[in-house]
Amino acid sequence: MSVHTAYVNAIRGAQHFIYIENQYFLGSSFNWDSHRDVGANNLIPIEIALKIANKIYSNERFSAYIVVPMWPEGNPTGTPTQRILYWQKMTMQMMYEIIYKALKEVGLDGTYEPQDYLNFFCLGNREAEDTTCTSSGPFSASNPQDQARKNRRFMVYVHSKGMIVDDEYVIIGSANINQRSMEGTRDTEIAMAAYQPQHTWANMLSAPRGQIFGYRMSLWAEHIGAIEESFTRPESLECTRQVRHIGQQNWEKFISSHVTEMKGHLLKYPVSIDSRGKVNPLSGCATFPDLGGNICGSFLNIQENLTI
């Protein structure tokens, strides 16, 4: 079985929620608004969106949480990075459009929004200055690295590649969610999947509480800096909105002109998602703090296809 097939089968079998951490998240380009022939045809993003849509049609809860880096490795203003961010935005847009269409078709578009089912996050940190240490200034206003040091903020890079489904099944490995990793004939990848037979929804007739549950809760505790009761029910609307709210609060602390110590690292991914699922730059924050680079990326014409 290929890594791609393992992901797709797990998503199709999911009943309650999906939690993903990955260095990249792009694919299903055949269903994008444009650039459909770019070749990023892995099914993972569209399978998640269709899973959510099917749950909406069935009037059932389902949530997907996806954690990616603030920007992929490299200079955020560089051509390859900007192009990857552009593909990522196209992927997000395609997914949210599918979810909004499902909500509209069942008449729930006035009650719920796409982010009640699907949310993207990144990780970052900010540390108040240690007054016992000598300042490392002066800082140059024209040097992005100096500004990041002055403002004492930096992203926490997400290099993990894994997915948890329903707290009963986990995939961990080397594969990114992009075409290079998932095509099967390009980058060499490895992955393992695991579950505990005695800790499944079918066996327990309730939410599993095995080691996979413990693994997810430990990740959330580290990323969020707290444990809330709703985290035990990640598919619930309460949990979905609470985690998104925490991520939004952390992002506001991250970009504030006032430096404060951040207890948690989970940030809502800095794009605007309206009630119809349209993805746009954040008002007043279209570029990454300090270092620059369009958060939604730019379609810059380069010949090779390594960015997919």
Tokens of 225: 């800096």
Contact 87, 307 (CB under 8 A): yes
CA–CA gap between residue 19 and residue 165 (Å, rounded): 7
- The CATH topology of domain 3-281 is Endonuclease; Chain A (3.30.870)
Q: Assign 212 to helix, strand or coil.
A: helix
CA–CA gap between residue 151 and residue 20 (Å, rounded): 30
pLDDT tens digits for range 40-82: 999 999 999 999 999 999 999 999 999 999 999 899 999 999 9
pLDDT tens digits for range 244-258: 999 999 999 999 999
Contact 88, 67 (CB under 8 A): no
The band of 8, judged by pLDDT with boundaries at 50, 70 and 90, is very high
The band of 150, judged by pLDDT with boundaries at 50, 70 and 90, is confident
CA–CA gap between residue 90 and residue 159 (Å, rounded): 21
Contact 253, 267 (CB under 8 A): no
Q: What is the pTM of this model?
A: 0.94
CA–CA gap between residue 262 and residue 260 (Å, rounded): 6
110 burial (CB, 10 Å; 0-12 / 13-18 / 19+) is: exposed
Phi, psi (deg, nearest 5) at residue 17: -160, 165
From residue 27, alpha-carbon distances to 30, 217, 286, 296 in Å are: 8, 28, 23, 16
Q: How far is CA 186 from the centre of its chain?
A: 24
User: What pLDDT score does 137 carry?
Assistant: 64
